[in-house]
Homo-oligomer: A and B are copies of this chain.
Amino acid sequence: MSLDKRMSTWHMGRLWVTEWVSPKEAHMHGLEEIIYEGRTKYQHVLIARTFAFGKTLFLDGYVQSTELDEAIYHEALVHPAMLTHPSPRKVAIIGGGEGATLREVLKHRSVERVVMVDIDSELIELCKKFLPEWSKGAFDDPRVELIFSDGRRFIEETGEKFDVIILDLTDPAEGTPGIKLYTKEFYEAVYNALSEDGVAVTQATSIRYYLFAFTAIRNTLSKVFPKVRPYKIFIPAFLCEWGFMLASKSRDPLELSEEEIRERIRDLDLIFYDEEAHRFLFWIPKFVRKKMDEIDLVSTDSNPLIIY
């Protein structure tokens, strides 16, 4: 093969985002096109088209969601909690700037009102402009109230009661405000902001990279909620299985009948979530359960969980 052929193949792949999983491991995403790069008041934002995942949102250098697989993440985050509540009318979303969590929530006919609270109004503007496929018009739905504010303060100060609260947050990384959205004190405020059969769900980091954090979130929620269920799903762009934690005041997601799930999602036009997926999401492999049993970390305001 001639030299020229080899070089021209590589011609377009020279701009890369390198995600440092740790100082010892990294993933290189070849970029086809940069759509936006800049900084909001809160974070660095890169919107680019990667060769592997299509349009991709990077926050502070890490993949947040991608055209190829955002539906897996957002369906997994939203629907188990929405179905664990018998008939959610009022929903609060903390975070979720892309608008895809909102999109999934609004698919449920029972929903009358969604309050979405995100601190970063600039990010939301960027997502509306450059990632309209994520929100698919959700921001314009009359049931939605959008509040630009600190999520923790909102939850603590709102007098309103919600049926479902969805915590679509960045990880509790060192030096970021997200840290205070994973503590026992915050979860107590979440509990208080929920209605009688209320259900909360939070993203819960990577079970490959941060199993200690995933487990700490479970432990911490268990101090506050009677029923806590860890679950996970493989997200291609995250290169690992991603964790979630569902916390419920009364109903247990593991006791939902296949019939109820099938019935309630019938018209929702979902890509990945169905009654089978529901069951499988909650399976945690034996060796993971075993390692989780050895971690007793609980996150509190005075001694919070932090990911480095």
A17-45 at interface with B (beta carbon < 8 Å): 17-30, 32-34, 37, 44
Is the Cβ of B5 less than 8 Å from the Cβ of A7?
no
How many copies altogether? 4
Is the Cβ of A174 less than 8 Å from the Cβ of B24?
no
CB neighbours (8 Å) of A29 from chain B are: 24-25
Interface membership of A6, Cβ < 8 A: yes
Is the Cβ of A3 less than 8 Å from the Cβ of B7?
yes
Is the Cβ of B16 less than 8 Å from the Cβ of A16?
yes
CB neighbours (8 Å) of A277 from chain B are: 283, 285-286
CB neighbours (8 Å) of A72 from chain B are: 285, 287
Q: Given contacts A27-B28, A30-B23, A234-B240, are A61 and B8 in contact (CB under 8 A)? A: no
CB neighbours (8 Å) of A6 from chain B are: 6-7, 9, 23, 308
Is the Cβ of A9 less than 8 Å from the Cβ of B18?
no
CB neighbours (8 Å) of A240 from chain B are: 234, 236, 239
CB neighbours (8 Å) of A268 from chain B are: none
Q: Which residues in A have some Cβ–Cβ distance to B below 8 Å?
A: 1-30, 32-34, 37, 44, 46, 50-52, 60-61, 71-72, 174-175, 208, 234, 236, 239-241, 270-274, 276-277, 280, 283, 285-287, 306, 308
CB neighbours (8 Å) of A276 from chain B are: 283, 286
Bound-state Cα–Cα, A59 to B6, Å:
19
CB neighbours (8 Å) of A174 from chain B are: 4, 7-8
CB neighbours (8 Å) of A12 from chain B are: 44, 61
Bound-state Cα–Cα, A1 to B6, Å:
9
Which B residue sits closest to A29, measured CB to CB? B25
CB neighbours (8 Å) of A239 from chain B are: 27, 239-240
Sample of 19 A–B contacts (CB below 8 Å): A3-B4, A6-B6, A7-B23, A7-B174, A8-B174, A8-B175, A12-B44, A12-B61, A13-B24, A15-B17, A16-B17, A22-B51, A27-B28, A28-B28, A37-B37, A273-B286, A274-B286, A277-B283, A280-B280
Most buried by B among A7, A10, A46, A52: A7
Bound-state Cα–Cα, A306 to B2, Å:
13
Which B residue sits closest to A17, measured CB to CB? B15
CB neighbours (8 Å) of A5 from chain B are: 1, 5
CB neighbours (8 Å) of A46 from chain B are: 15
